[in-house]
Amino acid sequence: HASSLPGVLTVLSGMSDMQQVEDNIQTLARFRPLSEVENAVVARAASAYRASGAIPCTACRYCMDCPAGVDIPRVFSAYNTLRIKENKMRFRIDYRSLDESEHAHNCVECGACLEHCPQSIDIPAMMRVVRQAAADL
């Protein structure tokens, strides 16, 4: 569980109804820190994820609505399929399932999204990366 990681003082969990509150309470009521083996697995998974070149978007949608109409989280999700699974066909399908008006090439780099991203992703720069990947399809 994230609350057992070094330096974690608070765990935030979005909740929109009482069932989610109760579920979160139950989850932490059974809390036990990660073992050394589990910590090592988490570290290896994080390292592999970072090495993949994936965009660390959690799809929180705080960056939305984009003034240019780009569906930022879905664009990043499609791209991450390419980077993590190295699956060009799935990227092509996922990306083309978006309305053309939601594609990365519509980003005007206004930066309106930047102040809202809790992951501090340089969204306009990543849109350029996705735009190039989509052009290579």
Q: What is the 3-state secondary structure (H, E, C) of the chain?
A: CHHHCCCCCCCCCCCCCHHHHHHHHHHHHCCCCCCHHHHHHHHHHHHHHHHHCCCCCCCCCCCCCCCCCCCHHHHHHHHHHHHHHCCHHHHHHHHHHCCHHHCHHHCCCCCCCHHHCCCCCCHHHHHHHHHHHHHCC
In the chain, the percentage of residues whose pLDDT exceeds 70 is 96
> pLDDT grade, residue 1 (50/70/90)?
low
pTM: 0.75
What pLDDT shows up at residue 96? 92
Least confident of 1-10, 20-29, 64-73: 1-10
Find the range with the poorest average confidence among 1-10, 37-46, 55-64. 1-10
pLDDT at residue 11 in the model: 77
pLDDT tens by residue, 79-114: 999 998 888 999 999 999 999 999 999 999 999 999
